[in-house]
Amino acid sequence: MEKAVARFEIRYTQFLDEHGKATGEFPDHSKNPDELVDLYRWMVLMRTYDAKAIALQRTGQLGTYAPILGQEAIEAGVGSTMHSDDVFLMTYREQGVQLMRGVTMTELFLYWSGDERGSDYQGPRRDFPICITIAAHCTHAAGAAYAIKLKGEKRAVVCALGDGATSKGDFYEGMNAAGAWKLPVIFLVTNNQWAISVPRSVQSAAETLAQKAIAAGIPNEQVDGNDIVAVRDAMKRALERARSGEGPSLIEALSYRLSDHTTADDASRYRSADEVAEAWKREPVLRLRNYLSAAGAWDRAREEALVRECNEQVQAAVQAYLDTPPPRPADMFEHLYETLPPALESQRLEALGPEPEPAGDKDTAVV
């Protein structure tokens, strides 16, 4: 005897098409254009910050930087739905969410300059530092969510990762634990189609990345990641599930990385100009602006004023960053160990340099 013992389907959500036209009735949380205007402002600020960070790197004033160009709707959708006491774990491409959660642009500039004081967020004290190691934070997210569950708190953990990270073992391990223990965690997968130079089609034979949650018993869905309304809707439902004790979720947000992987990359070596030009037609900022303009909630004068405000805000953050005194060379050893191993202690002493001679000894030497 043969029979199907289980069937699955992947839900896809879009409310705003690539031209900025509604595909159906908006959910209650996004029916008020004024609330979408506020999100549009955040998205323009993110894009302004992003362009400035690249300019700083190109002029030698910032280290290697990972752009967020094209992913502003995902960032705003996540940032606008999380509560301040939730916990956010991110990779190196979620600076927009960080800004909305209270991390300052000056802190981000410090981080990307190699100054670890940029990871000491004065805003979201419980958020984790940026995880450079691909997918390693998925297991950390499961651990943080487990702690929240043990304490009986009504909070959630959001773990943001890219499409390439879903090919790593840590991702599956984190999901398995979250599914087995019904942990309050959301895995937010930004599918921007490229893991550095490896296209999505080569990364995995799975038809969707959302379906990878099925084996872990986790509810999953796919959304248009360039549609701010769709991202918010999926995030709100997933967060409510987590906070009410119903367990984890996985959201795959479809987007496109419009810039290089990092400023150390040249994407033109592996992507065609036609492919990128086609992706620009679906980009999220213009899409939302077109919708708001058609709804009578936005116009050219407000756009010009917003661009001025964003430029001034970013420039003020840049100046604060450039005015920050550099860290001491010995600072890099301060937070690694309670007691430094001998090999690192010798390096720390070398970084400190020779101790100054006491004034009395110097005088004696002259005599």
Tens of pLDDT along the chain (367 residues)? 899 999 999 999 999 999 999 999 999 999 999 889 999 999 999 999 999 999 999 999 999 999 999 999 999 999 999 999 999 999 999 999 999 999 999 999 999 999 989 999 999 999 999 999 999 999 999 999 999 999 999 999 999 999 999 999 999 999 999 999 999 999 999 999 999 999 999 999 999 999 999 999 999 999 999 999 999 999 999 999 999 999 999 999 999 999 999 999 999 999 999 999 999 999 999 999 999 999 999 999 999 999 999 999 999 999 999 999 999 888 888 877 889 999 999 999 988 887 766 665 544 444 3
Residue pair 132/92 in contact (Cβ under 8 Å)? The answer is yes
DSSP structural state of residue 22: B
Active site residue 270: yes
Q: What is the pLDDT of residue 365?
A: 43
SS3 category, 278: helix
Catalytic residue among 270, 308, 335, 337: 270
The backbone torsions φ and ψ at residue 13, rounded to the nearest 5 degrees and listed phi first, read -125, 135
Residue pair 92/43 in contact (Cβ under 8 Å)? The answer is no
Q: Where do we find the tokens 């960070």?
A: 53
pTM of the model: 0.93
Region of 177 (left: φ > 0; alpha: ψ -120 to 50; beta: rest) is alpha
Catalytic residue among 101, 232, 241, 257: 257
Q: What is the pLDDT of residue 366?
A: 42
What single letter denotes the amino acid at residue 264? A
Active site residue 29: no
Active site residue 328: no
Catalytic residue among 47, 101, 241, 261: 261
